[in-house]
Amino acid sequence: MTGSGRYLKPILDSGSSRVFNCNDIVSKLEREKVDNPYIFKTRSMHNMVLIKEALARDDLQHPQGFAIGTKLYVPYNSADVYQGGRSIYLHSPYLMQVFQEQFGVRGDGDKAESLSHDLKILQTLDELPSLDGFLMRDAFEIEGIAINDHYCEVTPTERVAIGEYIRGKMEPLVRAAYGGQRSLGGKVTQLIDKVWEAKDLEALDPLIQAFRLPRHEALDVFSAWKGIIYYAFEQDRMREGRENFALWLKDMARPRQAVTRTVGAAIEETRRETIQRLRSHWVEVAGVLQTYEQLYADFVASANPGGFINFLRGATDTYWLLGDSLSKINLAVNCWQLTTQSAANRRLSVDQLDNLLTWLKSILLCRLSGTGERSRTAA
């Protein structure tokens, strides 16, 4: 599949949690002569840009049931990604053919180990709903993949703050699952560590029983629980940017000069649809997280896990839904900021405004169909 980089420019330049621009990152690291500037063992694979996309009904469905796919965009010219390129979903059956054609890699001989390492990185990212620096860094660490920290743009201070927030939210529930015993001591910390890694079923058995979770789903549930807490943190952190964006759509996203009635009506329709889609995503996110917080508070206060257990059983779907909606909002906000930053009062010409609103409407278009339907999507 080919595509024009010109039309992808707002996405490629946005630096959002929807996009992992390896091509841009490695170019900067090489210019700065940073030690070990590579994430892949196959050097040519650094030309790629990874983009998270909700899978529409006519897209190639993900074999693991994920409703969000990871699209690999390979520019024809790595020095100018806007000249166009080739794209393919990571779960496509033609992936290895494209890798061989684009990067000259094979699954045999001396290059087999390098390819295995690089595919593990891609598969680790494919299992995330969004490409937030914290989620990527955490996933690599859990999988034992050593990478240059520059590829996950989250500072040590931010990592500590987010980690403390997530652990702080886990601890009361772990204690409540044991009837609020104060004598648990280091056991709580150990269990939180195991929940964080979501790998050791035997060590997590006490919580699996307390939460009455199906054992075969427990690791996915605990992993998703951590992700939901992270997205609650992100929702609060991105509030100001989202509100400023919403105000711009409401008050400033109109032509600054006279236009024909037809042009004005078309721009107004796009503006209103963009506002509605932004509101729809935000209301859904807020509603899900409000429900989570209420059930969480009820469990901690009464040690009655009923409602929270039901929520946890759908945690995987909720995790992906939150990741899809929040990363779309993040991408839309970043594209808006990038496009309007040099314009006086962020007011654009007619053509610029029309193009931007069309992009924003497209970015906010597809939504996951809802909890319990992880393998399906809705346009």
Token pair listed for 139: 């996933």
Going from the C-alpha of 195 to that of each of 201, 222, 253, 316, 318, the distances in angstroms are: 10, 6, 45, 14, 18
| Mean pLDDT computed over 56-74 | 84
Report pLDDT digits (tens) over 214-250.
999 999 999 999 999 999 999 999 999 999 999 999 9
pLDDT (0 to 100) of residue 5? 43
* Mean predicted confidence (pLDDT) in 140-154: 89
The yes-or-no verdict on residue 142 having pLDDT over 90 is yes
pLDDT, mean of residues 332-338: 92
pLDDT band at 4 (very low <50, low <70, confident <90, very high): very low
Distance CA 315, CA 225 (A): 6
Cβ atoms within 10 Å, residue 307? 14
Q: Which of 256, 212, 240, 220 is nearest to 347 (CA)?
A: 256
Q: Which residue has the higher pLDDT, 373 or 53?
A: 53
Look at 125-129, 180-184, 258-262, 299-303 and tell me which has the smallest mean pLDDT. 180-184
What is the reported pLDDT for 372? 36
**Domain edges within the chain:** 2-153, 157-378
Q: Are 125 and 66 in contact (CB under 8 A)?
A: no
Residue 64 or 227, more confident? 227
> In the structure, what pLDDT confidence band is assigned to residue 122 with cuts at 50, 70 and 90?
very high
Given this model, what pLDDT does residue 75 score?
A: 87
User: Is the distance from CB of 174 to CB of 191 less than 8 angstroms?
Assistant: yes
Over 60: is that where the pLDDT of 291 sits?
yes
- The pLDDT, as a whole number, for residue 366 is 58
**What is the pLDDT averaged over residues 207-219?**
89
Interval 171-185 mean pLDDT:
70
